[in-house]
Chain A
């Protein structure tokens, strides 16, 4: 079945650093979604991508829809403490009724 693989699993960064993470699949996706989840809360939609090659920004966040439609990337520039959390990629299955999710990338800022 369709699966999403996220890397890295976790990241330790210094405040002010740029962050890059990615999501890959063996299947083609027509939509890529990036969510952030804080402890004890539900995921919050950050960026939605609908077209291969699309580059979309939301403040300091930038996400790209890979040309092959099998991957997507999320970059965070000049990280700040509130960026801490778990970042998930998600995409609709062929049935389009459900989202499948990666296992997440946990972002931790070193003190």
Chain B
């Protein structure tokens, strides 16, 4: 069975640009969560989506947005990129919202210059 997949694997952008990151959950999982991981730290929660609805949002500015599609895949969008947005963006899937056993993809490494 395929695990969580994310694309692209690496991305380089400049300040002010926007970026779209994509995630496909494990087959049968209906919930997708997004995390930001800065080097040397644990992941920080950004969003959780379940059945196409936002179920939770972390302490991130409105420049961050996301959505979930009918096939349960998800996109994370970040506008007006700042240098501080450089990080590994992780997607995790689980069967349902509130299911604490989350399974992670390999992440997208975003570098903002």
Query: Which A residues between 1 and 34 are near B, CB-CB below 8 angstroms?
Result: 4, 31, 33
The answer to whether A45 touches B103 (Cβ under 8 A) is yes
**Shortest Cβ distance from B54 into A: residue:** A97
The answer to whether A97 touches B97 (Cβ under 8 A) is yes
The answer to whether B104 touches A44 (Cβ under 8 A) is yes
Q: A42-B106, A44-B104 are in contact. Are A99 and B90 (CB under 8 A)?
A: no
The answer to whether A40 touches B101 (Cβ under 8 A) is no
Residues of B within 8 A of A101 (CB): 42-44
Q: Which of A4, A40, A90, A97 has the most CB of B within 10 A?
A: A97
Query: Which B residues between 76 and 113 are near A, CB-CB below 8 angstroms?
Result: 90, 92, 97-98, 100-107, 109
- In the assembled complex, the Cα of A73 lies from the Cα of B56 at a distance in Å of 28
The answer to whether B107 touches A103 (Cβ under 8 A) is no
The answer to whether B100 touches A33 (Cβ under 8 A) is yes
The answer to whether A45 touches B106 (Cβ under 8 A) is no
Residues of B within 8 A of A31 (CB): 100
Q: Which of B33, B41, B102 is close to A45, meaning CB atoms less than 8 Å apart?
A: B102
Residues of B within 8 A of A44 (CB): 104
CB of A58, distance to nearest CB on chain B (Å): 13
Interface residues of A (CB under 8 A from B): 4, 31, 33, 35, 40-45, 48, 88, 90-92, 95-104
In the assembled complex, 23 residue pairs joining A and B whose CB atoms fall closer than 8 Å, in A order, are A4-B42, A40-B106, A40-B109, A42-B92, A42-B104, A42-B106, A43-B104, A48-B101, A88-B43, A91-B100, A92-B98, A92-B100, A95-B56, A96-B98, A97-B98, A98-B45, A98-B48, A98-B56, A98-B58, A99-B45, A101-B43, A101-B44, A103-B40
Interface residues of B (CB under 8 A from A): 4, 33, 40-45, 48, 55-56, 58, 90, 92, 97-98, 100-107, 109
